Amino acid sequence: MKIRKIRAKNFSDALALVKRELGEDAVILSSDDKKGNSPYVEVTAAVDFDIETVGEAAPAPVAAAVRTDDSDIRIMELKDELKGLRESIEAMRNKGFELQLPEALKKMYYFLRERSIKDEFALSLAERGADIENIEALISEDIAASMKTDISMKGAAAQPAMNEKRVVMLIGPTGTGKTTTVAKLASKAMKEGRKVGVISLDTYKIGAAEQIRIYSRMIGIPLDIVSNIEGLRKSIERFSDRDMILMDTTGQNPRESEYTDKLKEICSAGLPIETHLLLSTSSDCDFLMDTYRHYRTLPIDRIAFTKTDEAVKLGSIYNLCSLYRKPVAYITTGQRVPGNIEMVDSRKLTNLILRTGSA
């Protein structure tokens, strides 16, 4: 077990240092808010290690008087001691380091954690709004204002512009709702008076082409189904009279290099494509972060969050916006086509995140 004392100017900085030096499994044993002319926070943290590895390394030379079985007994005793320490650390982990925080800060920290906002972000936001006494005021005062600055929308550019021709490619893992979102965006654009064309690159999944055909007939838009770069070039040229071209892509496991290599080939073909990564908020934050890491080798222009109506908590939206600093294009709020898609601004998105949770 490794134990460290770490000093920082505030709790959020201390937590970030703990995670950087000891890892994600580190546990805060105690924390102290030091006052004075140069105030600081002192945190004591610990991390355990695998008990089973004890004694597996090559043994150090021992004096002839020490018998081998005595060494074995000592190793067993050490393993028992470590097991007890691990159980103690696990108990402290379950209690959580937030119990050591000042009361006002702790109240806000709980509020934000309840909405699935990551520890370090929750602490940072709580410290920024530490003077707020009424939790309900978080919705409209300092916390909401702080969160809005961390969520990039890039103004109107995050939404399809009326006077701008755009080729938008939707990518994302299986089940994020790419095909349905294409139909939603097409319907919305047509309602705004724009001419739309749809290209499907999803020739992998059985029934995918039929689904987009149904949507295109229902909405009344032309559809091309292509399987390679040359076909894509011809299709974009064919739709040269369109104000917007929407591209549906195959949803596969982003860990499969063959899949991401095909997307890279499209992105590097010199075509005027804007890429939107769709992430489903019905998935947990760790899965979404892992998904983003596998797609980040592609030129992602914007993130869109789908299935917000199915999510219990939406803190993952704030987490990903804070971590990856990509503008949010839109959110989807249901399966109805047309409809159930919103071009939200940062204030509306922030309020949506803060108002979800069991608190």
Query: What is the tens place of the pLDDT at every residue in 199-236?
Result: 998 655 555 678 889 999 999 999 999 988 999 999 99
* Greater model confidence, 204 or 263: 263
- Choose among 45, 34, 30, 26: nearest CA to 9: 34
- pLDDT mean over 299-313: 92
**C-alpha to C-alpha distance for 245 and 224, rounded to whole angstroms:** 11
pLDDT for 155 beyond 60: no
What is the Cα 159 distance to its own chain's centre? 21
Torsion of CA 199, 299, 189, 342, to 10 degrees: 130
Phi, psi at residue 343, to the nearest 5°? -90, 80
Tokens representing 202 are 């999803």
Contact 29, 45 (CB under 8 A): yes
CATH 3.40.50.300 boundaries in the chain = 155-354
SS3 state at 223: strand
Assign domain 155-354 to its CATH superfamily.
Answer: P-loop containing nucleotide triphosphate hydrolases (3.40.50.300)
Q: Give me the percent of the chain exceeding a pLDDT of 90.
A: 29
Tokens 């689904």 identify what position? 211
Which pLDDT band holds residue 156 (cuts at 50, 70, 90)? very low
The answer to which of 87-91, 231-235, 346-350 has the lowest mean pLDDT is 87-91
pTM over 0.75, yes/no: no
pLDDT at 235: 92
- Max mean pLDDT among 43-57, 81-95, 163-177 falls in 163-177
Which pLDDT band holds residue 165 (cuts at 50, 70, 90)? low
Amino acid identity for residue 341 in this structure: I
For residue 304, CA distances in Å to 101, 109, 127, 330 come to 35, 27, 29, 5
Amino acid identity for residue 166 in this structure: R
